Chains A and B, each alone.
Chain A
């Protein structure tokens, strides 16, 4: 694996971040609200986002995955426990950890090009190096013809690619993607999987990808972390050793992929059942409504 890393790294020097970075979560808890209305979203959650790997996190919907992202990105602080990046505690948002949100966060008032250039310009680095990189990335995500268009003029898939370019120009050490392809139709979704996997295979930076889609998870992941229901913990980690580059057909044809799929489905089904019966949906909804009122 590591020899392959070095080979691919040579082919694409400019986007490779200098360091190999990893993020470690240690007994992280997050509680919203207080007193009798406190809601525990994340409980004793520990896992590692290993460097130069594509780690995919999968879990039942509404299980606090997005909260985890808020914590890792530094927008919010954990109630207890530590999140460290390369051994240093995360204290706030930074350009070393870029987030691609569920819904497009492209600025509607900027053209594709201006959106991509936002990061460098905001840091006062909008010089020649950045403009060249922006042009290179525009070509790379296939949006040269849409350089001067506004996000509302792009299709869903194009918006996602523009956002990938906007993130990559900052050469983040870690990319965090929160269900980035949700809401795309199946065709563009599968195209985006292949496209994104290609991008990843070129530079092999540390990527953290969140999804609820099992096929997506197995197609993309080096490591697959399966999460429990609320309060969220990591339940199981599977190393996905299907060789890269992968093809969509492999995921449906290969025995190994199907074995993994079965294992993941069993685990996820258990978690989903817990939330369905044991946790009593009605009681959970009631509590949630109450905790919102308390805020």
Chain B
């Protein structure tokens, strides 16, 4: 049953299209990188990048290198740490702002002033403020996801169809029951969307934070994927820069896919549309 499912998926049109698109992309990249000039015209950007064969060649040995995998692990831990903290604080914060007017009026202005500050602008301040570089990276990562999650939760909870609330009220539901069984599930789709967007931002932020802060003090090969790229750049290994970039792409894809799956399980009613 499961093998048949897998086979169906691999032979499906969508999957084949994906494979073809990636292959074409790789071929253009390879050809573009190998030939510096086409008919006397210099390809402006692609000609300076190492070709995919070169990238894969330098990727090979890295696969058995503990430091490379440690970079993965470090970045993943930071992303997950910041992201989970952002969920734990952001979801209740957004929900509470949506249902309590006083709290909304008190907290929202401060929130709105802090929100436009890019997470990366917090890097110097957080390095000063937090005792360890690790904590400051985690904090900046947290900020990246926090604002997005709060804004989505708040928007979702505020745009609930008024009739759902009135229907629940007229059936004799208590405020708590309305919150638990109407407001919360009605906001779940927005929570899932906010989390997915927040996860993307978290990856953007963690890599930059690692570059700036020098890999959270652990340095060397264990500084995370962002530090891995920066280190490769300083060491002049252009192939490894690209390896790091693709690694982040893959890591981000898996994180989002994980969230999409989880979100699908949490909101089964949306699948039926």
Give the interface of A toward B (CB within 8 A).
73-75, 93-95, 97-99, 101, 103, 105, 107-110, 118-119, 122-123, 149-153, 166, 170
- A64 shortest CB reach to chain B, Å: 18
Given contacts A108-B269, A122-B177, A150-B272, contact A170 B167 (CB under 8 A): no
Q: A105-B161, A150-B269 are in contact. Are A122 and B168 (CB under 8 A)?
A: yes
Q: Contact residue range for chain B?
A: 20 to 34
CB distance from A143 to the nearest CB of B (A): 16
Q: How far is the CA of A101 from the CA of B167 in the complex (A)?
A: 8
Question: B271's closest neighbor in chain A, by CB?
Answer: A150
B contact set with A: CB distance below 8 Å = 161, 163-164, 166-174, 177-178, 181-182, 185-186, 188, 267-269, 272-273
B164, B170, B273 pick with most chain A CB within 10 angstroms: B170
Q: Which of B172, B177, B185 has the most CB of A within 10 A?
A: B172
> Which B residues are CB-close (under 8 A) to A170?
171-172
Q: Which residues of A contact B174 (CB under 8 A)?
A: 122
Tell whether, in the assembled complex, residue B163 and residue A118 are in contact, meaning their CB atoms are under 8 Å apart. no
Residues from chain B with Cβ under 8 Å of A99 in the complex: 166-167, 170
Given contact pairs A109-B186, A150-B269, a sample of 8 additional A-B residue pairs in the complex whose CB atoms are under 8 Å apart: A73-B166, A73-B170, A93-B170, A98-B171, A105-B163, A119-B171, A122-B171, A122-B177
| Max chain A Cβ within 10 angstroms of own Cβ: one of B166, B174, B178, B267 | B166
Chain B residues within an 8 Å CB radius of A109: 185-186, 188, 267, 269
In the complex, the answer to whether A94 meets B170 with C-beta atoms within 8 Å is yes
Contact A95 B185 (CB under 8 A): no
Known: A108-B269, A150-B269. A95 touches B161 (CB 8 A): no
Residues of A within 8 A of B171 (CB): 95, 98, 118-119, 122-123, 166, 170
A97 and B170 alpha carbons, distance in the complex (Å)? 7
The residues of B that contact A73 with a CB separation of less than 8 Å are 166, 170
Q: Count chain B CB atoms within 10 A of each CB in A73, A75, A149 and give the residue with the most.
A: A75
CB nearest neighbor in A for B176: A122
- Determine the distance from Cα of A207 to Cα of B245 in the docked complex, in whole angstroms: 67
Q: In the bound complex, what is the Cα–Cα distance between A52 and B164 (angstroms)?
A: 28
A108 to B174, CA, bound (A): 20
User: Do A152 and B181 touch (CB < 8 A)?
Assistant: no
In the assembled complex, the Cα of A74 lies from the Cα of B272 at a distance in Å of 35
What are 5 sample pairs from A and B whose C-beta atoms fall under 8 A apart? Answer: A93-B166, A99-B167, A101-B163, A101-B166, A149-B272
Q: Which of B168, B169, B185, B273 is the most central at the interface, judged by chain A CB atoms within 10 Å of its CB?
A: B169
Interfacial chain A residues near B168, Cβ < 8 Å = 118, 122
Do residues B163 and A103 form an inter-chain contact, with CB atoms below 8 A? yes
Q: Once the chains bind, are B173 and A123 in contact (CB under 8 Å)?
A: yes
Q: How far is the CB of A150 from chain B (nearest CB, A)?
A: 4
CA distance A74 to B186 in the complex (A): 23
Query: How far apart are the CA atoms of A93 and B172 in the complex, in Å?
Result: 8
Q: Is the CB of A107 within 8 A of B182?
A: yes
In the assembled complex, which residues on chain A have CB atoms less than 8 Å from the CB atom of B163? 101, 103, 105
**Cβ-neighbour of A105 out of B167, B188, B268, B272 (below 8 A):** B167
- Cα A109 to Cα B172 in complex, Å, equals 19
Query: Which are the 7 A-B pairs with shortest beta-carbon distances?
Result: A122-B173, A119-B171, A95-B172, A109-B185, A105-B163, A105-B167, A150-B269
Question: CA of A96 to CA of B176 in the docked complex: distance in angstroms?
Answer: 21
Say whether A105 contacts B269, CB under 8 Å: no
CA distance A109 to B156 in the complex (A): 14
B172 touching A122 by the CB < 8 A rule?
yes
Cβ contacts under 8 Å, B273 to chain A: 152
- B253 nearest CB across to chain A (Å): 28
Nearest Cβ on chain B to A33's Cβ, whole angstroms: 19
Q: Contact at A75–B272, with CB atoms within 8 Å?
A: no
Give bound CA distance, A73 to B171, whole Å.
11
What residue in chain A is nearest B184 (Cβ atoms)? Answer: A109
Q: Which residues of B contact A166 (CB under 8 A)?
A: 171
Closest CB of chain A to B165's CB: distance in Å? 9
Q: With a CB–CB cut-off of 8 A, which chain B residues contact A97?
A: 170
User: Chain B's nearest CB lies how many Å from the CB of A149?
Assistant: 8
